[in-house]
Each structure stands twice: as C-alpha cells, then as structure tokens.
Amino acid sequence: HCRYITVSRMVVEVAQMASQEEVLERLRSSFLAGKTRDAKFRLSQLEALARFLEENRKEICHSLKMDLSKPQFESELSELSLVRSEINLALSSLSSWMKDEYVTKNLATTFDTAFIRKDPFGVVLIIGPWNYPVHLTLLPLVGAIAAGNCVIIKPSEISQHTERLLADHLPRYLDKDCFAVICAGADDTSRLLENKFDYIFFTGNTHVGKIVMAAAAKHLTPVTLELGGKNPCYVDEECDINNAARRISWSRYFNAGQTCLAPDYVLCTQKTRDQLVEALKATVMEFYGQDPKVSPDLGRIINNRHFHRVSALLSNGNIVLGGQTDEAEKYIAPTILIDVKESDPVMQEEIFGPVLPILTISGLDMAIEFINRRERSLATYVYSSKSQVVQQFLERTSSGGFCANDGLLHSTLMSLPFGGIGHSGMGKYHGKFSFDTFCHQRACLLRSDGREKLNEIRYPPYTQRHLGM
C-alpha cells in the first residue's frame, strides 16, 4: 500500500492522490450503474463482511493487541460481537427496511400512489477513530451497505496494525467496484475530503469533526458526526455504593479508559466521595490485582503523544489511587483523583485514559447546574436507587444518551439510537437508525396521465374559484 512505501515521499503522495480519485470514480460509476440497488447484492456483501470477521478473528484480535494491548475478551465483546449482531440484524431485517412506505393522501391525490422510497445516497465516506478501530469503522459500514451505498472506508492511521489488516484483508471479501479501503493520515484525509461525497460519516474528536463538517459544507454533503466530550457521572447519596463502584470502574477502565462513552468525571457529595473512593479502590484491586501493570485485563495507551497528554493530567488534584506510569509500555495505572477544581486542565478536555476525577458538590441541584454549564456530552450517567433522582436528571439535563445505574451498556442496544448532541455530535446510528441514516427518504407520488377533469380546479384563470377556506 502507498503509505507503507518509504522511498520518495513526493512520488508516494502523487501516486496516492491519483489513486484516491480513481477509486472514487470507480465507485461512483458502479453506483450509477445500479449495482448496489439490488437487495440480493446487499445481502451478499453483508454476508461477506460477516465472513471477514469470522475468518480473520484471530488476526483482528492480534492487531488490536498490537495497537492497544486489548485483552481478547474486550476485543470479542466490544469490537467483534457488536458488529456481528449488527450484521445479523441487517440480514434479517433488510427486506422490511427497504420496503416503500405508503403514506396517507389528500383529496387531490386520492387515486394516486404516494410513498417514501428508501434511496441510497451514493458514495459514502466513513472515517474511523483508533480506540475501537474495528467496531467504529465496520458498524457504520453495515448500515451503509444495507442502505445500498458504495463506500470508502478510511480507518484511523493511529491504530496502524488494524488499519493495515483492514486494508489488506477487507477488500478480499467485498466487491471491489463498490467498496474500498483508503489509508490516509490527517493530510491525505484532508485531501480526500476535497472530493465530493454523497454522505460523510465521521467518528473522532470534536476539533476534527469541525474540519470534516467544513469540508463537507463545500459540497453541501450531509454528515453524521460521532464526537467526544466529557461524560458526567452523578453518584447519589442513596445508592448501592459497591455496585456503583464496580460499574463505574468497569466503564472507566475498559480499553484503558479510551472510550468515547466512558464516565469522564464523578460528581457527588463529600460523604459519598469518601465511601466511593474506598469502594473503587477495592474494585480496582479485585479487577486488576495488587499491581494492575501485570494484569492481562488492562489495555495500554495508544501512542506516546496520548501517553504524555494523559500523564500530564495526573498532577491535577490529589491522587488517592494509582498514578503510576511507564512510558516504555505506555502504561497508566487505573487512577482516581480527588480535590480537583473545575478550572483544572483535567476538567477542560476529554480525559480518554484510565483516570477518574471526583468532584464534590452539595447535591443534585448543584450537579445538574454543573453539568448544564458545560457542552452537552455523549452520555450522562446517574447512580441512584431513587427513581425521582434519575427522573430529575433525565428532565433537567441533555446529552446524546443516558444510562441510570450503569455505564456504556445503553450503546449495546441496537434498538436505541446512538449519537451525540451539540459538541458530542449530530446524527445517529445502530440497527434501523443506521439504515435510515444512510438512506435518503425520497418523496414519491405516482399519478395517472388521465382523469384531467379532476385537475381543472387548479388551473388558471382562477376567477370564480375558491377553495372554501
């Protein structure tokens, strides 16, 4: 692949630019030839994608291990099985999703046929991130294929082993005239974005999301932006503190904290904090042992840049658990920070690492006020045994998704839309929502060319006519 050739950089870049355009042209002509319209074709491609996952399972887990030291269980759970169930759902639902939707009519169209046709957009670009590089690249691909589009898949160059695996192996399964993997870093992706796509689906950080949206605006291309942010987690005085600690630890330290949906910080009263810190310490010991560095169940930070970025946040507030780092391994221990101030750097950016700041507040009202002062997040978490408390958060805050008494789990339900609001993104996907995202709802009215008598009322001259309003 072009990017792996290390000879003359100039030559490589020119070759890559030309190939980007060639690829796009090839996909566009396949789309215009109607190749992806056929339901049978879509089903065959979804099955091929399932085969890719099945036959390369070991290699996929290996590249995730190389990129992120992902424990096999986490790879199976959060990368492979979710994509597999998305494919299964699309396979079993495609014919009903694709059906024209007949709609109610008015007097003037009584004898006609009115329906919504689920039209594919055309050539779609999917740009993936590095933290779940299989799941977040292939899950949207399922919806895009189901909806009948041609797709360019642009995996993250940061998770380089997975990128290479997708580039080398995925094209062996999918139709080459309709689907392609393009490897590109930030500069080449900017160049790729100069081309006209019919839809862009981007997952990544908010800053790059704005760049993608600005590039899309030049062609008036619609976008879905799946972005990040700081997900608040309120822990009420009335809750099962041990269960809360287990669920918060799991969702914070899963994938070494590099999860867009992870609880980013905890808000609770001082009394709850003291109990919670003890329970979290016990949980981390239970999950990862005395020395988490030797635990096979804790991942690593993706690269040096992020290792230094997250390590720098450890000087905020006071460490009550963890804090150890090892640059050679890109290891950061599961860490808890207390006495953190709202103005500290750790509260300015998404942490995206195994670090959990706990901020004390006076109670529910102050927590809600704190949350509403900030940009809207991808998720809001509330731990409480009182349903009124949960309801208060539901009614008085706003975020992409919401989960009471657990973390991350709402995103595993394909019957729920997944997506952000405000700075955490726009648009939604998963299951039927993915199919709808990648379809244009074409408004269709089919009339007969006869029955002209019925039309006379609307033609000029209008004198002597009224609509009876």
Find the binder of ligand NAD among 71, 120, 128, 143 (CB under 6 A).
Answer: 128
Is 260 among the catalytic positions? yes
Whole-number Å distance between alpha carbons of 154 and 259: 20
Using the rule CB under 6 A, which residue among 195, 203, 249, 434 binds ligand NAD? 203
Query: Could you confirm whether 403 is annotated as catalytic?
Result: no
CB of 215 to ligand NAD, least distance (A): 8
Among 71, 129, 292, 417, which residue sits at the site for ligand NAD (rule: CB under 6 A)? 129
| Cα–Cα dist 171/283, whole Å | 43
Say which of 2, 226, 268, 403 is annotated catalytic.
Answer: 226
Quote the CA–CA distance of 260 and 422 in Å, as a whole number. 15
Binding residue for ligand NAD, selected from 425, 427, 428, 433, defined by CB under 6 A: 425
Question: At its nearest, how many Å lie between ligand NAD and the CB of residue 387?
Answer: 28
Residue 82 binding ligand NAD, by CB under 6 A: no
Which listed residue (131, 149, 160, 335) binds ligand NAD by CB under 6 A?
A: 131
Burial class of 59 by CB neighbour count within 10 A (0 to 12, 13 to 18, 19+): middle
Looking at 420, 421, 428, 435, which residue binds ligand NAD (CB under 6 A)?
420
Phi, psi (deg, nearest 5) at residue 365: -60, -40
**Interface with ligand NAD includes 20 (CB under 6 A)?**
no
The residue (of 155 and 292) whose beta carbon lies closer to ligand NAD is 155
**Stretch in the footprint of ligand NAD (CB under 6 A) among 26-34, 202-210, 369-377, 453-461:** 202-210
Residue positions counted in the chain:
469
Nearest one of 4, 165, 159, 181 to 67, comparing CA atoms? 159
For ligand NAD, give the closer residue by CB, 3 or 42: 3
Judged by CB under 6 A, the chain residues 234 through 293 that form the site for ligand NAD are 260
431 binds ligand NAD (CB under 6 A): no
Residue nearest to ligand NAD (CB): 228
Angle, in degrees to the nearest 10, between helices 270-288 and 241-253? 60
* CA 344 to chain centroid: 28
- 81-98 helix and 39-55 helix, angle to the nearest 10 degrees: 170
- Nearest to ligand NAD of 156, 249 (CB atom): 156
- Per CB under 6 A, 140 contacts ligand NAD: no
Question: Residue 150: beta bridge partners?
Answer: 123
In the region spanning residues 106 to 125, those forming contacts with ligand NAD, defined by CB under 6 A, are: none
**Identity of the residue, 186 or 413, whose beta carbon is nearer to ligand NAD in the bound complex:** 186
Among 27, 68, 127, 153, binds ligand NAD (CB under 6 A): 127
Our finding on whether 226 is near ligand NAD (CB under 6 A) is yes
Q: Least distance (Å) from ligand NAD to the CB of residue 360?
A: 26
Q: Does 64 bind ligand NAD (CB under 6 A)?
A: no
Task: Show the site string, 350-369: x = touches ligand NAD by CB under 6 A, - = not.
Answer: x-x-----------------
Among the candidate windows 85-93, 165-173, 222-230, 434-442, which touches ligand NAD by CB under 6 A?
Answer: 222-230
Per-residue binding string, ligand NAD, 153-192, x by CB under 6 A, is -x-xxx--------------------------xx--xx--
Q: Could you tell me the smallest distance in angstroms from the CB atom of residue 285 to ligand NAD? A: 28
Q: Which stretches of the chain bind ligand NAD, using CB under 6 A?
A: 127-131, 136, 154, 156-158, 185-186, 189-190, 203-205, 208, 211, 226-228, 260, 350, 352, 378, 420, 425
User: Known catalytic residues?
Assistant: 226, 260
